[in-house]
Amino acid sequence: MKITLLTGRTFDFEAALGFEIKVTRSPLARKLTLRIDTKDRLPALTIPKYCSNKKAVEFVRAHQSWIAETLEKLPPSRSFEDGEHITLFGKEYQICHQPEARSGEYTRSGILYVSGEADFLHRRVKDFIKKKAADEFYKRSCRMAEKLGCEVHDICIKDTKSRWGSCSSRNNINYNWRISLAPNFVINYLIAHEVAHLLHQDHSPEFWDTVKQLYPRYKQGRDWLKENGRLLYSYR
């Protein structure tokens, strides 16, 4: 990736390092940080405003073993397939492709029926999940918010690269569509987490007390995400 400098010149990090990398120069960053973008399956580097490119390259080189090991541990990228079993908001469904049907996508008796050409099966299943998620997350979030005397303004389903959810000061909550595939106790934890932000825009002890009030099993859901979240990101 090439970065344009203040002088107008560009610096090619990929040429300097010999592999593909995502680079962001941020005026808000206080130090060099390196993470793995699980969606694009690439290392991602954030550089503070006054950090030299030379220092940034040396920093990445010093962590090349970590990058290689972490990328190797990522599960292979996958698509939804005919006959596959998935869990959607705590209920198990088997995907059944009906290429000749014209009925769209719907569920019945534990089966998720999907019509259309095989090349579009993954996209159709993904779109169905997003549509169901918009409705389900809105209902569940509103129910939890009522317990706090708060109101959810809007819900948006995102295809984010690393965040499972976020809550704005305007009471808008975003959820990653992939969390719909997690066990129900994980979904409930995440909703409690984001709804608690309606009262506390931080991660203070008061915030976590509110999360516990909304969902006492929150630690189990949080631990599951830390251990297994990367598996959900295997879906492209």
- CATH code linked to domain 85-232: 3.30.2010.10
Q: Cα 182 vs. chain centroid, distance in angstroms?
A: 12
Three-state DSSP class for residue 25: strand
pLDDT computed for residue 227 by the predictor: 92
CB neighbour class for 214 (10 Å; exposed up to 12, middle 13-18, buried from 19): buried
Give the pTM.
0.78
pLDDT computed for residue 153 by the predictor: 95
d(C-alpha 124, C-alpha 59), whole Å: 42
pLDDT computed for residue 191 by the predictor: 98
Q: Count H helices and E strands in the chain, helices first.
A: 7, 12
For the chain, the structural domain boundaries read: 2-73, 85-232
> Within the chain, which residues score under 50 in pLDDT?
4-8
